[in-house]
């Protein structure tokens, strides 16, 4: 594993370890070690190096929002009245639990957000009573996701 500025180079063993863990982060280290043909200690050492390099940002459980009743995913382009409103708008968006992601963008919108709501009525409430009430928001443009077709990480 070599690091140059902000990018790192990983070897074949690192790639194998990452592929196993990206497929199932709960896979036992010793099982990975047996499959790859190196010791569990070597796997732990490599994982520590990958974490310290910043390549691995942690592991997490993925909650299925549909089981909790959340079925409406939408992307909302937010037009701000002026660029100086960006930091204040983002701080206000952080306080809205339905907002999952927030991105500064090029193009027509100042900000693009991803929201998850229980249904269209909930989405309308979030739009009208929360997002459009933020100081600096002049208007929004909403796209409802009908069905997510691809969900993956970058290929290793």
DSSP string, 1-39: -EEETTEEE--HHHHHHHHHHHH-TTS-HHHHHHHHTS-
Is the domain covering 65-145 a CATH 3.30.70.920 domain? Answer: yes
More confident residue, 155 or 143: 143
Q: Is the pLDDT of residue 6 over 90?
A: no
Q: pTM of the prediction?
A: 0.83
Cα four-point dihedral sign 39, 45, 47, 50: negative
Q: What is the pLDDT of residues 16-48, one digit of tens each?
A: 999 999 999 999 999 999 999 999 999 999 999
Q: What is the pLDDT of residues 80-100, one digit of tens each?
A: 998 777 899 999 999 999 999
The pLDDT assigned to 60 comes to 83
The pLDDT-based confidence of 4 (bands split at 50, 70, 90) is very low
The pLDDT assigned to 92 comes to 97
- The Cα 104–Cα 21 span in angstroms is 31
Domain 8-53: state its class: mainly alpha
Cβ-in-10-Å burial (0-12, 13-18, 19+) of 8 comes to middle
Residue 9 has phi, psi (to 5 degrees) of: -110, 130
């Amino acid at each position: 594993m070599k690091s140059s500025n902000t990018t790192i180079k990983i070897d074949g063993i690192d790639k194998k370890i990452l592929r196993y863990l990206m497929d199932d982060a709960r896979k036992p280290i010793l099982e990975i070690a047996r499959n790859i043909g190196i010791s569990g200690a070597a796997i732990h050492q490599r994982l520590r190096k990958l974490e310290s390099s910043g390549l691995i940002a942690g592991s997490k459980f993925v909650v299925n929002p549909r089981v909790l009743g959340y079925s409406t995913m939408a992307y909302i382009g937010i037009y701000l009245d002026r660029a100086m409103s960006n930091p204040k708008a983002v701080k206000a968006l952080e306080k809205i639990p339905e907002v999952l992601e927030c991105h500064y963008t090029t193009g027509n919108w100042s900000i693009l957000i991803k929201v998850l709501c229980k249904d269209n009525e909930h989405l309308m409430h979030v739009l009208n009573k929360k997002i459009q009430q933020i100081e600096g928001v002049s208007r929004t443009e909403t796209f409802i996701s009908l069905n997510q077709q691809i969900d993956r990480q970058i290929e290793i």
